[in-house]
């Protein structure tokens, strides 16, 4: 039935009385519990609170009060706070910690009627591209259990792809929504930086992090963004720009756009030949639909990954200093002195990838190297922003593959950090510049796995971006 696949159908079915919120929630609870042993995507399933939410919504509906998201069941990545529920960022350093408050993004969805099913596994502190870095074990890709689901929001992508909820919230610091969406055949949206409040999200790199949805459909992504976006006085970086009614502004199929294609993205040696061919074929279809395809140059492509890792690790070094074994979370039991509390708690509480990035960030920020690395990185980031804005003066969108390859096998890149980092080469661009970007699923690879096409738009152009992406899906998915 349609209500099992997308949230919008469930909302409509609940509103017409075809099914109740409790029945929808009960079905997904059963599916999540049944499938989680093989996937490891759910860290906690909130059966009691989810059913309690559902019952309250059903009472409101019976009295004639309809909340706009009543009937939509979602999961939240394990970096988003939900009052009186655990949050650990996939790390032992926060094992046993319950949040005293709820993230603004989550609360706004609850207020609109969304039902929170549970929290989802992720790479530790959102640091990873495969979900192999979680201290709670790797998440499996439901489309092929021998493949990664992507990262860091791997649990979020796997949960939707497996049909255990309608949609999920992920976070995107360098592609952590879009890359797992591509690997699992989903829609994944990273909004403009500042469009969604970051209050209540455990930070990795504060000037990069952004919360966004993963879903089967553009319509669900638009609905979720519509109800969680907007200014929040608890987040000074959130924008006070008015929020569009994205769900009502999707009908742009008749509009013709100028679409920029960065030549360097399709010429890189590591790009899968089938993805390259499919991208060219898609561009031809867009031409046939009347769109203008314009080849453009972005000379900074080879600089985006190094710049990203210099700056994000510096921010991580600062952000993660609060996890000290003293104020909250994990504390080493064998520490004898205050120095040992710090060193042993952090040494045993953090995993190897997090420690690698903290050490790299501390080096980048050290007195002898600050100007050579951090300052230079900020200068390159400025150039990337300015160059991207110049391209978007000529084009409505910039299109590229989301990832160089489909989902890779477990262990294929985990022993080579550089190879793993380069899997984000197309996605980190939007985080460095702050622009919105979406991954649209593409079917047809000979491996049987999906991949993604990424569309990047101008600041706060989510309405146009979502509308074009819905039309794009008609050309990319199951076609």
DSSP percent split of the chain into helix, strand, coil, nearest 5: 45, 15, 40
For residue 302, how many other CB atoms are within 10 A of its CB? 10
| Residue of 176, 163, 47 lying closest to 115 (CA atoms) | 47
Query: Which CB contacts under 8 angstroms, 24+ apart, belong to 433-436?
Result: 433/381, 433/384, 433/385, 433/388, 433/389, 434/192, 434/193, 434/194, 434/385, 434/459, 435/192, 435/388, 435/392, 435/459, 436/189, 436/190, 436/191, 436/192, 436/195, 436/460, 436/461, 436/462, 436/465
Kindly provide the b/e burial profile for residues 252-286, where b requires at least 16 CB atoms within 10 angstroms of the residue's own CB.
beeeebebbbbeebbeeeebbeebbebbeebbeeb
| ∠ Cα 264 266 272 (to 5°) | 135
> Strands 211-215, 187-190: parallel, antiparallel or unpaired by DSSP?
antiparallel
How far is 94 from 7, CA to CA, in rounded Å? Answer: 32
- Asked if 402 and 427 count as a contact pair (C-beta separation under 8 A), the reply is yes
- Where on the phi/psi map is residue 360: left (φ > 0), alpha (ψ -120 to 50), or beta? alpha
Angle between helices 218-228 and 7-16 (to 10 degrees): 80
How far is 172 from 226, CA to CA, in rounded Å? Answer: 18
- Asked if 244 and 465 count as a contact pair (C-beta separation under 8 A), the reply is no
- Asked if 329 and 95 count as a contact pair (C-beta separation under 8 A), the reply is yes
- Asked if 124 and 390 count as a contact pair (C-beta separation under 8 A), the reply is no
How far is 443 from 465, CA to CA, in rounded Å? Answer: 20
Token couple for 296? 């453009």
Q: How many residues does the chain have?
A: 479
Q: Which residues are marked as active site?
A: 77, 152, 176
How far is 40 from 28, CA to CA, in rounded Å? Answer: 16
Q: What is the DSSP letter of 370?
A: I
């Amino acid at each position: 039935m349609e209500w099992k696949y997308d949230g919008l159908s469930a909302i409509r079915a609940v509103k017409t009385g075809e099914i109740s919120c409790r029945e929808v929630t009960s079905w997904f609870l059963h599916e999540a519990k049944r499938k989680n042993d093989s996937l490891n995507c759910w860290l906690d399933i909130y059966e009691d609170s989810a059913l309690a939410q559902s019952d309250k919504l059903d009472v409101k509906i019976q009295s004639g009060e309809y909340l706009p998201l009543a009937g939509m069941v979602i999961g939240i990545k394990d970096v988003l706070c939900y009052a009186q529920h655990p949050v650990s960022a996939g790390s032992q350093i926060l094992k046993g910690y319950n949040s005293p408050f709820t993230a603004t993004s989550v609360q706004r969805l609850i207020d609109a009627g969304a039902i929170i099913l549970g929290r989802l596994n992720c790479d530790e502190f959102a640091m990873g591209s495969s979900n192999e870095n979680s201290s709670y074990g790797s998440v499996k890709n439901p489309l092929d259990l021998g493949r990664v689901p992507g990262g860091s929001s791997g649990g979020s992508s796997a949960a939707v792809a497996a049909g255990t909820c309608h949609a999920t919230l992920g976070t995107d610091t360098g592609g952590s929504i879009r890359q797992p969406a591509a690997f699992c055949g989903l829609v994944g949206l990273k909004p403009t930086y500042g469009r969604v409040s970051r209050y209540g999200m455990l930070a990795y790199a504060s000037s990069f992090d952004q919360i966004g949805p993963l879903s089967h459909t553009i319509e669900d992504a638009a609905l979720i963004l519509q109800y969680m976006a907007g200014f929040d006085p608890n987040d000074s970086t959130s924008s006070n720009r008015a929020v569009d009614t994205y769900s009502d502004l999707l009908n742009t199929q008749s509009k013709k756009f100028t679409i920029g294609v960065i030549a360097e993205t399709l010429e890189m040696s590591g790009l899968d030949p089938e993805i390259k061919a499919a991208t060219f074929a898609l561009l031809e279809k867009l031409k046939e639909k009347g769109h203008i395809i314009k080849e453009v140059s972005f000379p900074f492509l080879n600089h985006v990954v190094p710049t990203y890792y210099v700056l994000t690790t510096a921010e991580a070094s600062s952000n993660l200093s609060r996890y000290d074994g003293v104020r909250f979370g994990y504390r080493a039991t064998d520490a004898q002195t205050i120095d040992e509390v710090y060193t042993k708690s952090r040494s045993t509480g953090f995993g190897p990838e997090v420690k690698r990035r903290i050490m790299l960030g501390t080096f980048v920020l050290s007195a002898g190297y600050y100007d050579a690395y951090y300052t230079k990185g900020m200068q390159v980031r400025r150039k990337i922003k300015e160059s991207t804005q110049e391209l978007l003066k000529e084009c409505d969108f910039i299109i590229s593959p989301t990832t160089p390859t489909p989902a890779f096998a477990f262990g294929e890149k985990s022993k080579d950090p550089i190879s793993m980092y380069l899997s984000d080469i197309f996605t980190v661009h939007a985080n460095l510049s702050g622009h919105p970007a979406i991954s649209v699923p593409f079917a047809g690879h000979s491996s049987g796995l999906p991949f993604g096409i990424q569309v990047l738009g101008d600041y706060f152009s989510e309405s146009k971006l979502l509308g074009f992406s819905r039309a794009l899906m008609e050309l990319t998915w199951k076609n």
